[in-house]
Amino acid sequence: MSLFRNLMFLLLLLTCSTCANKADNVEEDFTRYVNPNIGTTHSRWFFYTPAALPFGMAKLAPSTNGSYGNKSGWEAVGYEDGHTSIEGFACFHEFQIGGVMLMPVVGEVKTRPGSLENPHEGYRSKFDKNTEVATTGYYSVVLNDYDTKVELTATDRVGYQRYIFPETDSAYIIFDIGNQLGESGAVKDAHIRLIDNQTIDGFVTTTPEYVKKYQSGTDLTMFFYAKLDKPVEESLVFLRGEKPLFGNEIKGVGSTMAVKFSTKEKERVLVKIGLSYTSIDNAKLNYETEAAAKTFEEVKQAAHEVWKEKIGRIRVTGGTNDDKIKFYTGLYHAILGRGLASDVNGAYPKNDGSIGQIETDSQGTPAHHHYNTDAIWGAFWNLTQLWTLAYPEYYSDWIKSQLLVYKDTGWLGDGIANSRYVSGVGTNFTGLAIAAAYNCGIRDFDINLAYEAAFKNEIDGKNRPLGAGKPDVSFFVENGFAPYAPELQNKTVPECWMFGTSHTLEYSFSCYAVAQFAKQLNKTKDYGLLNKLAGSWENIFDKETHLMRPRLTDGSFIKDFDPTAPWIGFQEGNAIQYTFYVPHEPERLIEKVGQSIFNNRLDSIFIISQSNIFGGGKELNAFSGLHALYNHGNQPNLQTAWLFNFSGKPHLTQKWTRTICNEFYGTEGIHGYGYGQDEDQGQLGAWYVMAAMGLFDVKGLTEENPKMQLGSPLFERIEIKLNQKYYPGDTFVIETENNSKENKYVQSLSLNGKIQKSVFIPFSDIASGGKVKLTMGANPDTE
């Protein structure tokens, strides 16, 4: 008996051990730290789309004020954390793109959304925040006025909207298609039709403000194909604000349709909406391929698994719970934006308005995807570095997508919406981003075509379309600077002649990047030209003030120079902020200013800026920090805190990057990315991720052999899973000892067990895998 008991006890131990091992091997789900509602006060149209996949086309979200319009193309409309009513649930959310909004209602069908102040004058509904659930790939809320629960999820190109109605003989779903939404611009045309009692399709054509500005005379179209799982009893059609009529089709601006059902208590009605930028047929194909056979629960779970894998490519241990929330929410935003524009069959919208076709294999699978994208302005200090580390396959796809535009038009775009030019800031860093990818070993694209496009982007101004950016590049190439020329501002967009000083800095940097690309391809003549142009920033450096100063067309510096005045020669910034914009030659800038002056000035700027939360304080405005000495809420400043690594004071980089992470970033609706500042499709979130890992490259990976600089990691351990299609290593690990809120300074560091004094890590060592180990302390190690 004793032997039997011993055997049973041993078996029990083995069983428990197996269970424990299984538990140990269960991967942590880091999506639990993602909170999409962070920073949603005064946020952009594309910012809040919880029901979406990474880089997807279908991006579903509630709209609280998306119908209010977007006068300049960038104002904060869509969803706001403080709003208390919802007007509908939109399917398209991109830079300059918004449309196809659905809204479930019960009772009388009203023909306007209504206002935030008077929600009951329209079909919008009040809601309680405590009924709202938002996470990666899923959203739900209860509409109080209709006693109806709404649930949203998505595949790449198909939106799922499920409504749980009360018992009623007058449940409706409103298809608000023909009205302006988000950043879409004015509607030009629309069409909705009820094909049968369970199928609705249509389109809306809009003229976004940035399309009007950079590619005048063109527009863009969104198509949909919707399947309902419950037959429609009757349908009403109307133009916004007009009397509804019975009908199954409507055309023109303002087109709206409401379809009616009788429902039992808590009856679910599901709508699957296939989306496309090319045609209704392709919207149908996207639906049939991705969604026809899949239930809501299946798609919701699949979306979660996709996010779990993508978010889990960077695993952190230690730090506070808030640190993790900010980290993974930032990572979420970094891989949410810049979504699909091509269909499952490789069809995509071309710049000229026709339909293009991406090459497919024998199974009909496209060789790559095409994407819509906000301008890449400043993204080399956040997004592209993060893509390089954890998402190189997307970075490669993004480049191939950009090269489609080049093949179709002869020019690289910067921001593109359905391949239409939406430059946004009038410059173009696409060539720089291509060169940086090449430097890091991401090379599975047409290298010769990419170089041709990048080189042309830097030096050619002849017949250059406005939307390709750099409209003053010929003047820059011929004179060594771009002018501040207010006398010419009315001849074209302001970006052409009003911001030449910042353009000089930007073009110098991008010329440097493409010069390194040229050097590696043995383009000796091109390298010489580009390398010379890379030093052009010195032509606007004022030796008297040690600042970058606007020069007029005749070459003279402007008089009555105010270094804190924005817009005078500088795009979205001022001379104080932009003087540090020499990322490719920081050592030369420090030499010209003087190391001691440089360090004292820069440290003082951060000391002063801390009281203003490193930007515009608590003012809810995307441009609130433009007059400040440092403005973390906008792209031109994002490298500045890392410059101490080049000026002999790396402990100040450690101090200020950690402080910015703790104070500029928050975990609330109103305090997320500053206070209502401009989180352009993941850029500020990506900066936090990089800084929290203590990894960054001021030069944006543009060196021939790139190096990253170390800062002050927030976590005890950071593990980055590397894509072995591109890199030889499996993981790269950063470990810290004695890390805490107080212990933010690096005391010693080692790379793969070897002690080193430098805070510079070759990217090749990162790509090969391995470990950096940092010992932290409360006092700076100035040695």
Q: How many residues comprise the chain?
A: 783
Judge whether residue 15 has pLDDT over 90. no
State residue 326's pLDDT score: 98
Note whether 776 and 747 are within 8 A (CB): yes
- Cα(77)–Cα(692) distance, rounded to whole angstroms? 30
The pairing of beta strand 199-207 with beta strand 186-196: antiparallel
Contacts of 461 (CB under 8 A, 6+ apart): 470, 471, 472, 473, 474, 475, 477
Got the DSSP string for 497-527?
HS-HHHHHHHHHHHHHHHHHHHHHTT-HHHH
Structure tokens at 162: 């499920």
Q: Which CA distances in Å does 115 have to 84, 100, 148, 153, 650?
A: 11, 19, 20, 26, 52
Q: How confident is the model at residue 25 (pLDDT cuts 50, 70, 90)?
A: very low
State residue 527's pLDDT score: 98
State residue 341's pLDDT score: 98
User: What's the mean pLDDT in 326-346?
Assistant: 97
Structure tokens at 656: 């200020």
- Cα(658)–Cα(641) distance, rounded to whole angstroms? 10
Judge whether residue 16 has pLDDT over 60. no
Note whether 66 and 78 are within 8 A (CB): yes
Contacts of 27 (CB under 8 A, 6+ apart): 308, 312
State residue 104's pLDDT score: 98
Got the DSSP string for 340-405?
B-S-TTSEEE-TTSSEEE--B-TTS-BSS--B-B---TTGGGTHHHHHHHH-HHHHHHHHHHHHHH
Q: How confident is the model at residue 623 (pLDDT cuts 50, 70, 90)?
A: confident
Lowest mean pLDDT among 504-518, 672-686, 706-720: 672-686
DSSP 603: H
Q: At what angle do helices 650-663 and 595-610 cross, to 10 degrees?
A: 20
- Cα(108)–Cα(57) distance, rounded to whole angstroms? 33
State residue 620's pLDDT score: 85
Task: Supply φ then ψ for residue 348, to 5 degrees.
Answer: -150, 155
Lowest mean pLDDT among 199-203, 373-377, 402-406, 663-667: 373-377
pLDDT above 70 covers what percent of the chain?
97
Lowest mean pLDDT among 14-23, 73-82, 299-308, 547-556: 14-23
Q: Where are the beta strands (DSSP E) in 484-639?
A: 541-542, 547-548
Largest Cα–Cα separation, the chain = 104
Angle at 137 between CA 131 and CA 143, to 5 degrees: 25
Judge whether residue 5 has pLDDT over 60. no
Contacts of 657 (CB under 8 A, 6+ apart): 641, 642, 691, 694, 696, 711, 712
- Cα(20)–Cα(13) distance, rounded to whole angstroms? 10
- Cα(121)–Cα(119) distance, rounded to whole angstroms? 6
User: What's the mean pLDDT in 473-495?
Assistant: 90
Q: How confident is the model at residue 26 (pLDDT cuts 50, 70, 90)?
A: low
Residues 365-391 pLDDT 10s: 999 999 999 999 999 999 999 999 999
Judge whether residue 12 has pLDDT over 50. no
Lowest mean pLDDT among 10-24, 323-337, 436-450, 689-703: 10-24
Task: Supply φ then ψ for residue 467, to 5 degrees.
Answer: -70, -15
Q: How confident is the model at residue 63 (pLDDT cuts 50, 70, 90)?
A: very high
Q: How confident is the model at residue 22 (pLDDT cuts 50, 70, 90)?
A: very low
User: What's the mean pLDDT in 155-177?
Assistant: 98
Judge whether residue 441 has pLDDT over 80. yes
Note whether 104 and 125 are within 8 A (CB): no
User: What's the mean pLDDT in 118-133?
Assistant: 97
User: What's the mean pLDDT in 493-503?
Assistant: 91
State residue 23's pLDDT score: 42
Question: Which among 100, 95, 348, 289 has a CA at the least distance from the CA of 209?
Answer: 95
User: What's the mean pLDDT in 214-239?
Assistant: 97
Note whether 27 and 719 are within 8 A (CB): no
Q: How confident is the model at residue 1 (pLDDT cuts 50, 70, 90)?
A: very low
Instruction: Map residue 58 onto helix, strand or coil.
Output: coil
Residues 424-434 pLDDT 10s: 888 999 999 99
Q: Where are the beta strands (DSSP E) in 618-698?
A: 695-696
State residue 680's pLDDT score: 82
Question: What is the chain's mean pLDDT, rounded?
Answer: 94
User: What's the mean pLDDT in 593-612?
Assistant: 97
What is the pTM assigned to this prediction? 0.95
Residues 660-689 pLDDT 10s: 999 999 999 999 999 977 788 889 999 999
Calculated CA dihedral for residues 140, 146, 148, 153, nearest 10 degrees: -40
Q: How confident is the model at residue 727 (pLDDT cuts 50, 70, 90)?
A: very high
Task: Supply φ then ψ for residue 409, to 5 degrees.
Answer: -120, -20
Residues 266-290 pLDDT 10s: 999 999 999 999 999 999 999 999 9
pLDDT higher at 1 or 227 = 227
Contacts of 680 (CB under 8 A, 6+ apart): 44, 374, 375, 377, 378, 635
pLDDT higher at 206 or 26 = 206
Judge whether residue 513 has pLDDT over 90. yes
State residue 18's pLDDT score: 40
Strand partners, 707: 762
Q: How confident is the model at residue 4 (pLDDT cuts 50, 70, 90)?
A: very low
Judge whether residue 723 has pLDDT over 90. yes
State residue 621's pLDDT score: 81
